[in-house]
Amino acid sequence: MKLLAIETSCDETAVALLEGNEQGDTTSFSVLGNTLISQIDIHREYGGVFPAMAKRAHAQNLVPILASTLEEANEMHEEKQVLDESITKELETLLSREPGLSESFLAFITETRRPQIDAVCVTYGPGLEPALWVGINFAKAISLVWNIPLVAVDHMEGHHMSSLLTPSSERSYTLTKPNTPHITLLVSGGHTELILMKAWREYEKIGETRDDAVGEAFDKVARMMGLPYPGGPEVARLAHKDREDARTNPFTLPRPMIDSPDLDFSFSGLKTAVLYKIKEKETLTDVETEQMARSFEDSAIGVLVKKTEKALNQFGAQSLSVGGGVSANEHLQRTLAEIQDVSVSFPPRELTGDNAVMIGVAGFYKALEGNFATPESIVATGTLSLS
């Protein structure tokens, strides 16, 4: 099955074309084309994602990204197409909210032959609704002109699926369905949650953050220390340096909710504790910045690991996977890999952050089940939640 996947939930515009072949419990996925434009440079100035600008950038990026993805997959064939007037009208209405999008889409589509694609998968939540709508309307437009069925994908299921992928050869991955019960820790800029997969694709949320997401806490702490956006990788780099130097750390930070009886998290108190410590000092020296980064990372990751172990024990799970942008954190990876008697998997490095490949993989399994969506039924759902 060949799938076109579209992701616009936050600050990356991504389109991928992949082919999935299922054999028993293992599926092989080949990435035929994949293009991603990150808007980090646009949002850096604001220290975070600015929804109106994200939406505009998605609208400008989608047609060129689709073209380059098809080109890479050898599915781009120039050929004049005559569209029914009614279809042209429908497309114009569908894409009217994004200035310039219907013009550029029509210019592209009337010069391009329909590629061999079996489904169009698109993220419909969670995320920034204005940003999600751009991708959704674009997917509906493609589905309409090329008559390809739509699959609506949950972004968090995408992160979960990417955590189960193993690289097999260049641009190919395999996914073997894990034994259940399986636990997934999803950690990103907007989410921190523990998901129980009771059976294949049967999810139950068993824990989540009550305030900030862990990636958000990394970003905010980085900002307090004057580090560039997104701060997660930068804080991790400085923390690593301090750990290597094995200095005594003068900063003791709290580990909120570490002993609470539930599987929930809280990171806003930790963030505030960092703020107070910085205020006390007025300015941090370079060494103190590294020490603070390390102390923060130790606390944040310490809580994630403790709650994850608790979830594994509570549900008798033998397998664990970790997805989302923060799954790239090496300290988290190293610490979780030490858990005994549990197999732990992380996404391939290039698929830790937002991407369209993971949306295609999640869409593949929905399509296999015949779980297609009508265009009218796909609505951007900012607060969409697995289970």
Q: How far is the CB of 328 from ligand KG4 (least distance, A)?
A: 4
329 binds, among Zn ion, ligand KG4, none (CB under 5 to 8 A by kind): ligand KG4
**Residue span 244-273 as binding mask against ligand KG4, x where in contact by CB under 6 A, dash where not:** ------------------------------
The token pair that represents 378 in the structure block: 């796909």
130 binds, among ligand KG4, Zn ion, none (CB under 5 to 8 A by kind): none
Count the site residues for Zn ion by CB under 5 A: 2
231 scored as a contact of ligand KG4 (CB under 6 A): yes
Among 48, 233, 269, 348, binds ligand KG4 (CB under 6 A): 233
Q: How far is the CB of 188 from Zn ion (least distance, A)?
A: 4
328 scored as a contact of ligand KG4 (CB under 6 A): yes
Count the site residues for ligand KG4 by CB under 6 A: 20
Residue whose CB is less far from ligand KG4, 89 or 334 = 334
Residue span binding Zn ion (CB under 5 A) among the ranges 181-189, 202-210, 222-230, 343-351: 181-189
162 scored as a contact of Zn ion (CB under 5 A): no
210 burial level (CB within 10 Å; 0-12, 13-18, 19+): middle
Residue whose CB is less far from ligand KG4, 233 or 375 = 233
Among 20, 115, 158, 324, binds ligand KG4 (CB under 6 A): 324
Residue 367 makes CB contacts below 8 A (sequence gap 6+) with 1, 3, 118, 119, 121, 149, 151
215 scored as a contact of ligand KG4 (CB under 6 A): yes
Among 125, 181, 325, 363, binds ligand KG4 (CB under 6 A): 325
Residue span binding ligand KG4 (CB under 6 A) among the ranges 106-114, 115-123, 184-192, 263-271: 184-192
328 binds, among Zn ion, ligand KG4, none (CB under 5 to 8 A by kind): ligand KG4
Distance CA 65, CA 57 (A): 12
Residue whose CB is less far from Zn ion, 8 or 188 = 188
354 scored as a contact of Zn ion (CB under 5 A): yes
Q: Which residue has the tokens 């523990």?
A: 194
Among 236, 274, 304, 351, binds ligand KG4 (CB under 6 A): 236
230 binds, among ligand KG4, Zn ion, none (CB under 5 to 8 A by kind): ligand KG4
215 binds, among ligand KG4, Zn ion, none (CB under 5 to 8 A by kind): ligand KG4
Q: Which residues bind ligand KG4 (CB under 6 A)?
A: 10, 188-190, 215-216, 218-219, 230-233, 236, 324-326, 328-329, 353-354
Residues that bind Zn ion (CB under 5 A): 188, 354
